[in-house]
Structure 1
Amino acid sequence: MNARTPAPGGLALVQDLVNTLDVESGVDSLDTDAGRSAFGLAPGDVAAARELRESLRAACLAHAGHPPHRPVRDLTALLAAGPLVVRVEDGTGVASLAPADASALTARVAAAIAEGVADGAWQRLKACEATDCLWAYYDRSPGGRGRWCDMGVCGSRAKMRAYRARKSAPKRGG
């Protein structure tokens, strides 16, 4: 559904995780072996991954100026379970935050968000405002005001609904 390019750097992991659920069809790729293995998850890790996914989706909705789609756990509390360490490259002295446990999804997500905050990309990872979509997309629009994952699908549907509502509304004054 998403015709836009992937998020930069580690935020692609966050985007991919949020997009494991197709809200419109109800298909959740975390229900499959391939979907779980893409994130290094065992079947017992799926409930926690879904909780993280929906809290991330709520953050992406907030980036686009929308309320959460449903009540979710506090993202800060969830990310606290994924400790980070500061890594300094020998010879260059370049420092970065990295997951303390590279196999832990929560820690990898926390590191990706930290990277996105540092380079200013985190706020541009948004969720589509269409309630039957909620797909995560990276807003590359110049003003950072994108509203839909795909203007040709969700944007067109929203504009058509608004047009029909205007046309069917009773005319004032005349």
Structure 2
Amino acid sequence: MSERSPAPGGLELVQALVNTLDIESGTDSLDTVEGRARFALTEDELPRARELRESLRAALLAHAGHPPHREVTPLTRLLARAPLYVAVDQRDGSACLTPTDDSLHARVAVAVAEALTAGTWGRLKACEAVTCHWAYYDRSPAGRGRWCSMSVCGARAKMRRYRAKEA
């Protein structure tokens, strides 16, 4: 849906996961073998992956100043399950968070931690359009982007406001 470029670094994983569900059409790419393979998911892992996706969407809506789209499990609780450790390079002393397994929760937790460190976490947002809520990375200078696409969701919102004003 979005004409925007992918989010930087690990946030691209978060953006891609949130965008597996097209709210307007009801299409969920996690229902397909290819969609599950993209995230290395088995069918048994789908309920937890969908729970994580909707908790992430709620956080991204909050980044954009919007209330959650529905009741969700707090993201803190879901990411607390992620098995991570701090890996320190003995040669240069650099450190990074590393997942102890390849679970989706662990990979997302690392991506969020890296984005927090880089200061980019708050720029990953969800479109304010209730029929969309697509994840996008807000590259606007002021960080006040509201829609995944100015030409689609933004245009629809502006047209609704214009028609309401004219009525």
Q: What TM-score, normalized by structure 2, do the two folds share?
A: 0.98
Partner of 1:94: 94
The 5 Å alignment of 1:84-123 reads 84-101=84-101, 103-123=102-122
Task: Give the Cα separation in 2 of the matches to 1:167 and 1:95.
Answer: 58
- What is the Cα deviation at residue 81 of structure 1? 1.1
Query: SS of 2:125's equivalent?
Result: strand
Task: Give the Cα separation in 2 of the matches to 1:65 and 1:123.
Answer: 11
Find the structure with the greater CA-based Rg: 1
Partner of 1:135: 134
Partner of 1:40: 40
**Identity over aligned pairs, percent:** 65
Q: Which runs of 5+ in 2 are unaligned?
A: none
Task: Give the Cα separation in 1 of the matches to 2:118 and 2:63.
Answer: 16
Task: Give the Cα separation in 2 of the matches to 1:33 and 1:89.
Answer: 38
Query: SS of 1:24's equivalent?
Result: coil
Partner of 2:151: 152
Partner of 1:13: 13
Q: Which runs of 5+ in 1 are unaligned?
A: 169-174
The 5 Å alignment of 1:68-79 reads 68-79=68-79
Residue identity opposite 1:107 in structure 2: A
Runs of 4+ in 1 over 2 A off after TM superposition: none
Task: Give the Cα separation in 2 of the matches to 1:23 and 1:67.
Answer: 17
- What is the Cα deviation at residue 100 of structure 1? 1.7
Task: Give the Cα separation in 2 of the matches to 1:119 and 1:63.
Answer: 16
- What is the Cα deviation at residue 89 of structure 1? 2.3
Query: SS of 2:142's equivalent?
Result: coil
Residue identity opposite 2:103 in structure 1: A
Alignment RMSD: 0.7
Q: What TM-score, normalized by structure 1, do the two folds share?
A: 0.94
Residue identity opposite 2:119 in structure 1: G
Task: Give the Cα separation in 2 of the matches to 1:165 and 1:99.
Answer: 50
